[in-house]
Amino acid sequence: ERMEPERLSNREALLERISSGCHELDGPKAVGVSASLAQLDSPVRICLVGLGRAGAFHMQSLRFVGARVAQLVCVVDTNLELARRTATEFAASDCVARATLEEVMADVALAGRVDAIIIASTTDTHYGLCKLALSASKATFTEKPISHHADEVDEVICLAKAARVPFLVGYQRRCDRNFRALRDLIADGALSSEAGRHGVRVIKCTSRDNPRPPEEYLRTSGGIFHDMLSHDFDMIHFLTSEIPDEVFTVGHCYDPAIAALDDVDTVVVTLRYASGLLATVDSSRVAAYGYDQRVEVFGERGMLTAQNESRHTVELATAAGHLRPCTEWSFPERYRHTYTVELTEFLNMVRNEPPLVEEDRLVERHFLDTS
């Protein structure tokens, strides 16, 4: 088949960009602070809620961007001693500790010092905390999910729209340089012969966690669909902007402790879309060889693949064969850069007053209700 000269040149340009490492498509690969943020007259003043695993990631990001860009003025945790120790270690006298966000909002002087709230507490607390933050007209970043219940997701989104303040839900894979490059190549027509069409026919997501989360976390996680597969459903939407018409799923549980929670640990999902796109996700709570996050996109004119990231790039070759490095062990290593990307983009939203965007409204609700 002959291609039009203009289309051929576009594809050659894409191939050149791919072969050169997709530098133009990497997005914020270096997770640097944008020029607009670096030149702020005053920092964005942050209240961080939750000092567990997710909270620790956000604190690392706050340290990275620096106090001239983001100032931590309050930390909140039900373990008040931990909150006090963290406030002292992180920001000395400029940061205060509280046991609840209600205490922060009730203190008029303290609440007045807060520009934005980051919610990194356990998943079952997000809904109430989002309502409290948005009702106070505070810019809000929350780790996913907003809630495990669709009507509560609806309520929070409507509240954010009414407050007209930045509201961001943290699906960190959207900030990964590999998946952004994948999306940009699809949008640029790498797989399509017709302008304006993505040309994608099949998407295969592999999503295998490692190591298995502790039972304390699993009890409040909402189950494997809300906790893990929501990321993959979001990724398919991120790549194609499509929502499925039909969802089929089958699962099994090998771990008695997870079975006791009325959950499964191994799942395969098939999704069918109005455009003809078919997608599959296979998911597991554990993978003995490391954290496994791959996406394959098959289209009209070829295939794009986002592979796992390895611990390093050195390969040993001997008469016995080739020895390659292991993949990253878990998600803190695989996605360590994404939390800083999320933070800097949220801070830009706070300072630059972005327009209202509804593109992804209730996408999570559609997927999870259907599943």
The whole-number pLDDT of residue 354 equals 61
Please give the Cα distance from 275 to 291 (Å, whole number): 32
Per-residue pLDDT, averaged over 20-40, amounts to 46
Provide, rounded to the nearest whole percent, the portion of the chain with pLDDT above 90.
Answer: 69
Taking the C-alpha atoms of residue 284 and residue 286, their distance in angstroms, rounded to an integer, is: 5
Q: pLDDT class for 30, splitting at 50, 70, 90?
A: very low
pLDDT at 207 over 80: yes
Cβ partners under 8 Å of residue 242, min gap 6: 236, 273, 274, 275, 277
Q: How high is the pLDDT of residue 237?
A: 95
In three-state secondary structure terms, 292 is strand
**CA 336, CA 229: separation in Å to the nearest integer?**
20
Q: How far is 90 from 92, CA to CA, in rounded Å?
A: 6
Nearest to 75 by CA among 134, 120, 125: 120
Predicted confidence at residue 363, as pLDDT, reads 47
C-alpha–C-alpha distance, residues 131 and 133, integer Å: 6
The answer for residues whose C-beta is within 8 angstroms of residue 121's C-beta and 6 or more apart is 49, 50, 52, 54, 55, 77, 129
Q: Given a cut of 80, is residue 76 above it in pLDDT?
A: yes
Instruction: Count the Cβ atoms, other than its own, within 10 Å of residue 62.
Output: 22
Residue 230 pLDDT level (bands cut at 50, 70, 90): very high
pLDDT-derived band at 38 (thresholds 50, 70, 90) equals low
Which 3 state secondary structure label does DSSP give 352? helix
Confidence of residue 9 (pLDDT cuts 50, 70, 90): very low
β-bridge mates for residue 267, sequence order: 251, 283
Q: What pLDDT score does 298 carry?
A: 97
Identify the CA nearest to 293 among candidates 168, 156, 140, 176: 176
pLDDT category at 126 given cuts 50, 70, 90 is: very high
**For 243-269, what is the mean pLDDT?**
97
DSSP code, position 92 = G
> Percent of the chain beyond pLDDT 70?
83
Report pLDDT for 7: 40
Residues 321-355 have pLDDT tens digits of: 999 988 888 888 888 889 999 999 999 999 886 65
Q: How many residues does the chain have?
A: 371
Element (H, E) at 58: helix 53-65
**232: which 2 tokens?**
């993959």
How far apart are alpha carbons 56 and 291 in whole angstroms? 20
Longest dimension (CA), the chain: 71
166 — pLDDT class (breaks 50, 70, 90): very high
- C-alpha separations of 7 from 17, 172, 182, 351, 356 in Å: 15, 33, 20, 40, 34
How far apart CA 262 and CA 352 sit, in angstroms, is 45
Residue 33 has pLDDT above 80, yes or no: no
CA 86, CA 97: separation in Å to the nearest integer? 8
* Pairing outcome for strands 278-284 and 200-208: parallel
Residue 85 pLDDT > 50: yes
Map residue 268 onto helix, strand or coil: strand
Stretch among 107-116, 130-139, 278-287, 344-353 having the lowest mean pLDDT? 344-353
- CB-based contact 22:14 (threshold 8 Å): no
State the pLDDT confidence band at 370, using cuts at 50, 70 and 90: very low
User: What tens digit of pLDDT does each residue of 98-113 get?
Assistant: 999 999 999 999 999 9
